Chains A and B, each alone.
Chain A
Amino acid sequence: MTDTATLLEVRNITKRFPGVIALDDVSLSIEAGKVTALIGENGAGKSTLMKILSGVYPDFEGTIYYKGETAKFAGPKDAQQQGVVIIHQELNLIPYLTITENVFLGRELVTQYGTMDKSRMRKRTQELLDRLKLKVSPDSQVFKLKVGQQQIVEIAKALLTDAELIIMDEPTSAITGAEVEVLFDIIADLKAQNKAIVYVSHKLDELFRIADQYVVLRDGKSIESGEMAGMTQDQLIGKMVGRKIEVMRKTTGRQDCEALLEVENLSLKSRLKAGNVLSNISFKIGKGEIVGLFGLMGAGRTELLESIFGLHPAHANGQVLIGGQAVCCDSPARAIAAGLALVPEDRKKDGLVLGLGVKNNISLTTLEEMEKLGALNDSQECALADHYIRELRIKTPSKDQTARNLSGGNQQKIVLAKWLATRPKVLLLDEPTRGIDINAKTEIYKLIIRLADEGLGILMVSSELPEILAISDRILVMSEGRLTGEFLASEASEDGILKKAISFKQ
């Protein structure tokens, strides 16, 4: 690049994970004194790119030019020392330490006697806070601050290291109104000091306010980049979408069938702040229907499934009917008895007991049926496991293999098997193909379609639009805890769905 303002340039970067190419020949350049918006759907490769830029993934194909020279970031700390800092969506502060202690964590100043130079650190922190217009004492403990203030502390940390490139990942996901304005003022200041900023956000209206340039990623590829000025939101959305999965939709128009699951006026109070995580959600799912539920991060999709499944009995309000019968799901056990099954988003954290074998994981939901005179009937358990290993084509050396040692796709099939064993009426799927390879994904799509054909009602949450479009009969869209759109498969388009999912607050 001949342009002297270019601070960092990425040329032809490819990053592979087993079975997946996360970034495919991506190139882009970031200029000093400008805000570059990084845009793309969930799974488009934004977080992988950020991790490469901030040194979390030191191994990749391609080259990074930083300040005109080939750069190599050996790790996050190395990237930091060279001036690239990332501010994560989940803040990395230590709650019970003070602002000063957090800002200087890992690079404390010491006196000539080897003790910590508290007064000098406090003074520097105060300077930084003044510069960022944060009116709190450097001695405040971080957990007492509001989220927006904590974010400013993160920025202070970045400024202490003389960062030249600051990457902000969804910085406004947890803050509102006035705090957002403060953040934008700070960003304007940083721009004036010739810092480069990469700003990742789903909120397009914000990007139009602060970004100078944009880079659109889709499916791991850099699709387009250019000046923000002159673009419209519709044009940007048009560039984000466009990925296709082989269409497998059955399109049989099942909407008129009897309702299996009815949700009426479901609300969920927030545990952390005033207000609702979910507000007045009502919808129905028919027998044999696949309903896709789309929403961006933080729209409340997972919370909706959890509330239906009885995981928030103290905070949820509203009615759930299964097969026309009102059910009181105040615990998973009740929900299961009523005919619900939930395949959770994080299979390692919530789906599987990783230390148990394939067989024991599959039978975990139905052990009550396997008892004979107080002891578990091993042959019955084996039969169940064999059945599903065959049926779902779970690839495992044996049915006693520890679940931990299987691939993501096979682990997901075990989770599905354990739920199918309960013979549910309604299957709630939360990101059922997250983090699994393309072949396993296809198998899971086919399985979902087959289950619907057998008469199950299916609610599938996904943040991958192509996946939702490929197999849903009907699509619901959520944004900020509300249902904001509903489409029949025949009339749904990526643009239409995405517009309903992105909040326009203007």
Chain B
Amino acid sequence: MPIAYSNKNFARFQSLIALFLLCLALSVLSDKFLTVSNLWNVMRQISVNICISVGMTLIVLTAGIDLSVGSVLALCGAITAGLLKNGIEIPSQNLYIGFTVLGAILAGGLTGSALGAFNGWAITRFRVPPFVATLAMLTVARGLTMLWTGGFPISGLGDTFLFIGTGWFLGIPVPVWISIVVVALAVFLTDKTRIGRYIYAIGGNENASRLSGINVNKVKIIVYTLAGALAAVGGIMVTSRLDSAQPNAGISYELDSIAAVVIGGTSLSGGRGSILGTVQGAIIIGVLNNGLVLLNVSPFWQQVVKGLVILLAVIIDKSNGKGE
């Protein structure tokens, strides 16, 4: 039996077992955990992290990283909210442009894509390490958010818009639908398309990929652009759920999303991992967060526990990968 193959399956199996045990423990410890309303609540909260983490997975598979997702999320949410509420006014031209919900959402999505593309461009054109390029973007996008909002929340966005974050469709919350669609598209992308195969190839061996005629830079730019767009999706969902774009939204979201990727078994050195693994990672983190709140664990201890879980997951993953 090929070692790598069986390990991969074993690893996937492991995080499912961990999730199951976690749920079992929580339902014993708290009578509120295993209720319909709580489970939907958890799912709704997780869906934002799933969207971001899908983008993060694509990047990590190419052996990159994106630290800017939290800030990009905040900026895109703020731009969508701002355009929706205030439109664009250019007094000198005596011009006012109003935005429909769809128009505002598209503008937010485009902003995220553009910032992601910029990340990809800086990384490929100037060979800036992804860690540094996206760290710079983390600061830049946060600053732009502050400039756009003036440091104040933008609230009161209208019922149509609120449907995205709080509505229900066929008995399932809309954010959950969105994350299902995002995950389905990403699974298709990674498993069935040429770009997907190139993503794995580049992460596995960038040299060999380049020599095989793959346009490595183009693939990387696409991947960072997608991650930016998905951060925008997350930003719009958060803004809608709260009926407010917070200038401080999304702080440290990059850490939750890297955690989901890592717990899901994707190797930070690239080339190995899966979208569905990341979904499991995001669910584990979400359930853990929810459970610790239900059990009245202090927020400080919550952070400690979460950190240890991430460490444990990576240690287990490393020992799985030893055969290679």
Residues of chain A touching chain B, judged by Cβ–Cβ distance below 8 Å, are 309, 311, 331-333, 335-337, 342, 344, 349-356, 360, 364-365, 367-368, 370-371, 374-376, 397, 400-402, 404-405, 418, 422
Pair A344/B211 contact, Cβ less than 8 Å: yes
Chain B residue, CB-CB nearest to A309: B211
Which listed residue, B207, B212, B324, touches A349 by the CB 8 Å rule?
A: B207
Pair B2/A402 contact, Cβ less than 8 Å: yes
Pair A405/B4 contact, Cβ less than 8 Å: yes
Pair A353/B201 contact, Cβ less than 8 Å: yes
Q: How far is the CA of A367 from the CA of B188 in the complex (A)?
A: 16
- Specify which chain A residues have a CB less than 8 angstroms from the CB of B192 in the assembled complex: 375-376
Pair B324/A367 contact, Cβ less than 8 Å: no
Pair B4/A404 contact, Cβ less than 8 Å: yes
Pair A405/B215 contact, Cβ less than 8 Å: no
Pair A404/B207 contact, Cβ less than 8 Å: no
Q: Which of A364, A371, A400 has the largest number of chain B CB atoms within 10 A?
A: A364
Q: How far is the CA of A352 from the CA of B192 in the complex (A)?
A: 21
Q: How far is the CA of A197 from the CA of B75 in the complex (A)?
A: 67
Q: How far is the CA of A50 from the CA of B184 in the complex (A)?
A: 56
Chain B residue, CB-CB nearest to A400: B5
Residues of chain B touching chain A, judged by Cβ–Cβ distance below 8 Å, are 2-5, 188, 192-194, 197-198, 200-201, 204-205, 207-215, 271-272, 324
Q: How far is the CA of A331 from the CA of B201 in the complex (A)?
A: 18
- Specify which chain A residues have a CB less than 8 angstroms from the CB of B272 in the assembled complex: 355
Pair B193/A354 contact, Cβ less than 8 Å: no
Which listed residue, A335, A353, A404, touches B200 by the CB 8 Å rule?
A: A353
Pair A354/B204 contact, Cβ less than 8 Å: yes
Which listed residue, B4, B193, B194, B208, touches A402 by the CB 8 Å rule?
A: B4
Q: How far is the CA of A333 from the CA of B219 in the complex (A)?
A: 14
Pair A401/B2 contact, Cβ less than 8 Å: yes
Pair A402/B5 contact, Cβ less than 8 Å: yes
Pair B4/A356 contact, Cβ less than 8 Å: no
| 9 more A-B residue pairs beyond the given contacts A353-B204, A360-B197, with a C-beta to C-beta distance below 8 A | A337-B213, A353-B271, A354-B204, A355-B4, A365-B213, A375-B193, A376-B197, A402-B5, A418-B212
Q: Which of A331, A371, A376, A418 has the largest number of chain B CB atoms within 10 A?
A: A376
- Specify which chain A residues have a CB less than 8 angstroms from the CB of B4 in the assembled complex: 355, 402, 404-405
Pair A351/B208 contact, Cβ less than 8 Å: yes
Pair A353/B205 contact, Cβ less than 8 Å: yes
- Specify which chain B residues have a CB less than 8 angstroms from the CB of A353 in the assembled complex: 200-201, 204-205, 208-209, 271
- Specify which chain B residues have a CB less than 8 angstroms from the CB of A365 in the assembled complex: 212-213
Q: Give the shortest distance, in Å, between B25 (CB) and chain A (any CB).
A: 35
- Specify which chain B residues have a CB less than 8 angstroms from the CB of A401 in the assembled complex: 2, 5
* 27 contacting pairs across A/B (C-beta < 8 A): A332-B210, A333-B213, A335-B213, A336-B213, A337-B213, A349-B205, A349-B207, A350-B205, A350-B211, A351-B208, A351-B211, A352-B205, A353-B271, A355-B4, A355-B205, A355-B272, A360-B197, A360-B201, A364-B201, A367-B197, A367-B198, A368-B194, A374-B193, A375-B193, A400-B5, A401-B2, A405-B4
Q: How far is the CA of A311 from the CA of B272 in the complex (A)?
A: 27
> A-B contact count, CB below 8 Å?
86
- Specify which chain B residues have a CB less than 8 angstroms from the CB of A404 in the assembled complex: 4, 324
- Specify which chain B residues have a CB less than 8 angstroms from the CB of A370 in the assembled complex: 194
Q: How far is the CA of A332 from the CA of B188 in the complex (A)?
A: 28
Pair A342/B193 contact, Cβ less than 8 Å: no
Pair B215/A333 contact, Cβ less than 8 Å: yes
Nearest 3 A-B pairs (CB), nearest first? Answer: A353-B204, A336-B213, A333-B213
Pair A364/B197 contact, Cβ less than 8 Å: yes
Q: A355-B4, A402-B5 are in contact. Are A367 and B207 (CB under 8 A)?
A: no
Q: Give the shortest distance, in Å, between A60 (CB) and chain B (any CB).
A: 28
- Specify which chain B residues have a CB less than 8 angstroms from the CB of A397 in the assembled complex: 2
Q: How far is the CA of A373 from the CA of B261 in the complex (A)?
A: 29
Q: A368-B194, A400-B5, A401-B2 are in contact. Are A355 and B213 (CB under 8 A)?
A: no
- Specify which chain A residues have a CB less than 8 angstroms from the CB of B5 in the assembled complex: 400-402
Q: Give the shortest distance, in Å, between A282 (CB) and chain B (any CB).
A: 25
Pair A355/B212 contact, Cβ less than 8 Å: no
Pair A352/B213 contact, Cβ less than 8 Å: no
Chain A residue, CB-CB nearest to B209: A353
Chain B residue, CB-CB nearest to A346: B207
- Specify which chain A residues have a CB less than 8 angstroms from the CB of B201 in the assembled complex: 353, 356, 360, 364
- Specify which chain A residues have a CB less than 8 angstroms from the CB of B200 in the assembled complex: 353, 355-356, 360
Q: Give the shortest distance, in Å, between B301 (CB) and chain A (any CB).
A: 38
- Specify which chain A residues have a CB less than 8 angstroms from the CB of B193 in the assembled complex: 371, 374-376
Q: Give the shortest distance, in Å, between B155 (CB) and chain A (any CB).
A: 41
Pair B213/A350 contact, Cβ less than 8 Å: no
Q: A352-B205, A353-B271, A355-B271 are in contact. Are A332 and B211 (CB under 8 A)?
A: yes
Which listed residue, A331, A351, A356, touches B204 by the CB 8 Å rule?
A: A356
- Specify which chain A residues have a CB less than 8 angstroms from the CB of B210 in the assembled complex: 332
Q: How far is the CA of A314 from the CA of B2 in the complex (A)?
A: 43
Q: A353-B200, A397-B2, A400-B5 are in contact. Are A364 and B209 (CB under 8 A)?
A: yes
Pair B208/A350 contact, Cβ less than 8 Å: yes
Q: How far is the CA of A342 from the CA of B208 in the complex (A)?
A: 11
- Specify which chain B residues have a CB less than 8 angstroms from the CB of A354 in the assembled complex: 204-205
Q: Give the shortest distance, in Å, between B268 (CB) and chain A (any CB).
A: 14
